[in-house]
Amino acid sequence: MVTVRSNKDRLVNARTLRRGHLKLREAIASAPDLAAIYIEVPRGPKRTPRIARLELRTVGVGFELRALWSKKRLGEVHVTAVQAREAGTCPDGEEPLDWLLLTTFPVHTLDDAIRVVRAYTQRWLIERLHYTWKTGTCGVESSQLESFDALCKWATLHLSVAAHRQHILHLSRTQPELPADEIFARDEIDAALLLFKKHRKDAPALGSTPLLGTMVDIIARLGGYIGKSSGGPPGIKTFGRGMDRVADAAEVVAMLRANGHMPTSNDGFG
């Protein structure tokens, strides 16, 4: 399945809708409303977090493809246009969501249209993964490896790290009440608590199991996060820096535990 968001009001093939000189937005506007769905909208640079009500419409369309420079006709492509337009939930002063999606997925029912829109809402997770992998914390683009084989291995390793860290960050926002030991190893939890003890005397006791949201907050603070007053929940950069510290400290904790010299809750290091 391929789904893209249309950013141009293209002319649709006249034979598709049996009407000539019809543009894409005119075609979708003539389609009946299917239903309304509700989605969670995260905070953005100019966007208030909210539950948005989206009205759905669909229409099958065809486009004539031409070569960029010669304008030679290359053929036709047939897709389904799915519009998801916000109604009644947009705050004053903001632009309502208006997604005009073109998809190769067969859309025959309302459930098909909802599936296309739901899939599109997950695009930011992929975008954040690529950001984390390339520049966020892994910095794979800054590698100075010269051989293709070495670069592939390096990139694959860092993609795994990026996916793991982005997954933890996402879970901390969607399921903050999870016990941290469902995600982190015991050595990682104790290492984070020992490091945090140096900064906060009211840190959770060594050996305790914080909730996932609390654990991610602690690790991000070790990476420079100063709290939600700084502009929202922990981001990947502060969380990634904190995880680097915790990973090193966890190795020390594991060695101390193996030799029976585990620090007590009154200790701390960092």
d(CA 6, CA 247): 43
Q: Could you tell me the pLDDT band of residue 267, with boundaries at 50, 70 and 90? A: low
Q: Is pLDDT of 265 > 70?
A: no
pLDDT value for 178: 97
pLDDT value for 20: 58
Q: Are 87 and 72 in contact (CB under 8 A)?
A: no
pLDDT value for 246: 96
The packing angle between helices 212-222 and 186-197, to 10°, is 50
User: Hey, what CATH class is 3-121 in?
Assistant: alpha beta
pTM reported for the whole predicted model? 0.71
- Of 1.10.540.10, 3.40.600.10, 1.10.740.10, 1.20.1740.10, the CATH number of 164-258 is 1.10.740.10
Counting beta carbons within 10 angstroms of the beta carbon of residue 21, is it exposed (0 to 12), middle (13 to 18) or buried (19 or more)? Answer: exposed
List pLDDT tens digits, range 35-85. 999 998 877 778 888 999 999 999 999 888 888 888 888 888 899 999 999
C-alpha distance from residue 99 to each of 1, 25, 167 (Å): 18, 11, 26
d(CA 20, CA 10): 13
Angle, alpha carbons 116-122-123 (nearest 5°): 95
- Torsion angle of alpha carbons 8, 11, 12, 17, nearest 10°? 120
Question: What does the domain layout of the chain look like in residue ranges?
Answer: 3-121, 164-258
Q: If you search the block for the tokens 């950001």, which residue do you land on?
A: 131
Size (the chain), residues: 270
pLDDT value for 49: 86
Q: Is pLDDT of 206 > 90?
A: no
Q: Tell me if 3-121 shares its fold with 164-258.
A: no
Q: If you search the block for the tokens 């100063």, which residue do you land on?
A: 226
Query: What proportion of the chain, given as a percentage, has pLDDT over 70?
Result: 93
- Tell me which residue of 31, 44, 27 sits closest to 90, measured CA to CA: 44
